[in-house]
Structure 1
């Protein structure tokens, strides 16, 4: 059994059968449940992607349909088959944003990080060439800002040429066709609105001619874009994976800054709009969170914060880079951890009562504060950060009792960090 044998003709026959039988009968016939995460979209209609791939295998000569237990419906299996064949696959919006949605996003993130680790790239004496990481980081910045996934080739080429000229530090030529084709072959990039097959990332004049003649639109593969646009955790994990693999000995900050990824918001999830009703008593309906899952996520955030700290300190006994300014990506990660830890309540034990109002995102009115200012040697780390209501934050910043309060909050931050986001 190999998914690679499935072609567009077999997928089309499965889609045709789906339309003829109807969704319920089609799923029952092949033994699949409804797709929870990814859906194939054909002519505006949605299809259960894993079931379609399983059924399509049965239309290969001499082969049978696949059972659900025989393959995965995720990024590296059913989704990749469909996107490699040029089909459109969309990630289903998470309902409620609860633990199930977070767990699915974490699993998809792990698979995506694994695929980045396996990217085939040319290397030099100084390290791997930066064609693909520059292209990926540029596209992730677009996803963060909610910009369209697909862009014309002219716009893509102009943006990537500029970045390759500015940040290609290992002999990279300003040739955006190379990384785009390599990422397409890896299943991470979509090329649409062209005829015939897509060439491999080898050659010179032939590649330039293909792009000049075809002028395809392109961007991150749809499920990859959806994951990176909708999950701050995924963005940070993928950025960390790219930096760790490709930027050893190279300062990534200028590139991250230019593509819009060196800021607190890189770790934030998008605004979901809050409850549909106008009643301010509604809280968004996320439901209870498993404390074990919450604690595990808190550990992940803290580990990511500490990896960034390590990269800026000692590596193999050598000072890698000294920085006296705040690292907004690290602060963004730490901020997410503190907000998850505090359970929506001010962490000042002497708080007289935080406001009942909420933000436009239906979140508590809390501010994450560095107890010890960074200029005074404090850390971008949850062990030295607390969530404070506006009143307590004002006292801590400019109140007459601020010095004593800071001592208390430093102890609270360390104790809450050791405990993690567990019930009181």
Structure 2
């Protein structure tokens, strides 16, 4: 239930004493990492939580400029009214700067745009603390988030903290100015302190190197036009369509005629109520670190369809981005980021199937049509005796010896539930690949990429309903509840990289 907004004097700007620093630990367990990744790095689509925003909705919408990604953080109630956490919650103000901390370093900063309490929203975003059952009730909306990495010792030492930052801490404006005067900003590179290294020098005419981190940041910070119904889907649909091309091994650059036809149909079908079918918008406006347009004259501004057609323009991922996206793990992360951020669960399978990425909805790589008895055209099979027709299909070759080895090592008993399933010819089990064979997952046919599972848990594992955490415990994906401990055998060496890939598909791995 929402209570009154907690703000210093009800003000909507920093007080007369100036900006303060709110030092915020990211958290020391999996929850902290996941929460930070979810609502700070990734951001939040407000429309997904419209049913619990209540009277906070209009205020929160007004906090963010057009195209800006809403980001949130929260704190559980303090144990008492006089400790440093209580003071930080009580005395921090709109306009103050938040410095996120983890393992001796500051990792990001943002400005408080709004302070409020909304128990329902907090519970939906982060659940409850597993130890105390508390909700991260004291919420802040963040604007201007910047990710960086710098040593935190100077700032912490100035307030007599010699070890790790353990709790929410407020540095008053006067002390902040003193630190700035004596040491500069805490995110400025200071090699003597082991802070962030200076930017890499780039030769004239040479583009900066694009790494996996920068590529992922481009997907998570995608600037989209915001409409009353939510963000525009033009850019996400264009990027997913282009990822489909990469997955199929097609050229990274697509000619305008093909882009106009296929992305135009996607926009017509999935663009949303009232959305205009303007494929030339993402074709041109996506230009940046990961996207390029070729064939247009220097200085061109917002060309229309006719101009793009006359110049035979092409667009797509830059060469370095395409190279990275040909790696199965990098591509899977990009697909999950775009599809989960911009498309609701009910439409996501349709969108991914339409762009040729339906295999990412499960660990086996099968599309929706392949996993159901219903044909790709949605026609239900007739009841009673049916005729037959010839079909042509391909599937990855599997080595039957490897299947036998995995089953023999575990005695035909499921590694998840340890329940023997008796059949007429003995124990019945299935050898499941952790990272699916073939496109789009490209996993190897090797025992290090296999599990011995019963049919039920094979189905759940392939359907991403369960996953294996870094401690080899089997958890339910939707709420991380512990279900089983994976039974291991020294003869069967499972490679962690394949388990990590499966966790990524489940949204549980960075």
TM-score by length of 1: 0.42
Structure with the largest fraction of helix: 1
Instruction: Considering fraction of residues, name the structure with more strand.
Output: 2
- Greater Rg, structure 1 or structure 2? 2
